């Protein structure tokens, strides 16, 4: 789904206009809600990726599992970041992340695991 071609569908899913708002955190919140997992909507800054550093439990990189949330730096400001779901590892050792607002769409992308700010998992 692309933020322009699928704008209305994405807006309905994530609750924000994806063309006007950085929406990776909104996408993660929406998917968690669909899966019946508590999301970050009650956080003071629910639409920021770095707010997920307060969500769930911290996970060591060697213990990462499919579905864990990974938070990365992004932009030039300390509050900026990116969040997505860990899917797996490429042959080159890059992490495959499924997220929203990755090249303006929902898609899989490769990320350097050394750049991760944190890994989080929901545990009941």
Structural domains in the chain, CATH included, are: 7-121 (3.90.1720.10)
The residues, any chain, with a CB within 8 Å of residue 103's CB and separated by 6 or more, are 109
Q: What is the pLDDT of residues 1-48, one digit of tens each?
A: 999 999 999 999 999 999 999 999 999 999 999 999 999 999 999 999
Share of the chain above pLDDT 70, in %: 100
Specify the pTM: 0.95
On average, the pLDDT of the chain sits at 96
Helix (H) or strand (E) holding 70: strand 69-73
Please compute the mean of the pLDDT values over residues 91-113 and round it to a whole number. Answer: 97
Reduced to 3 states, what is the DSSP secondary structure of residue 109? strand
């Amino acid at each position: 789904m692309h933020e322009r071609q699928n704008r209305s569908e994405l807006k309905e899913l994530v609750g924000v206009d994806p063309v006007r708002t950085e929406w990776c955190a909104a996408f993660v919140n929406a998917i968690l809600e669909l899966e019946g997992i508590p999301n970050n909507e009650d956080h003071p800054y629910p639409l920021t990726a770095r707010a997920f550093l307060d969500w769930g439990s911290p996970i060591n990189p060697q213990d990462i599992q499919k579905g864990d949330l990974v938070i990365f730096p992004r932009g030039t400001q300390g509050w900026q970041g990116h969040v997505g779901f860990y899917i797996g590892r490429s042959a080159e050792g890059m992490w495959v992340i499924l997220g929203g607002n990755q090249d303006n769409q929902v898609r899989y992308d490769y990320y350097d695991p050394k750049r991760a700010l944190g890994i989080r998992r929901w545990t009941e």
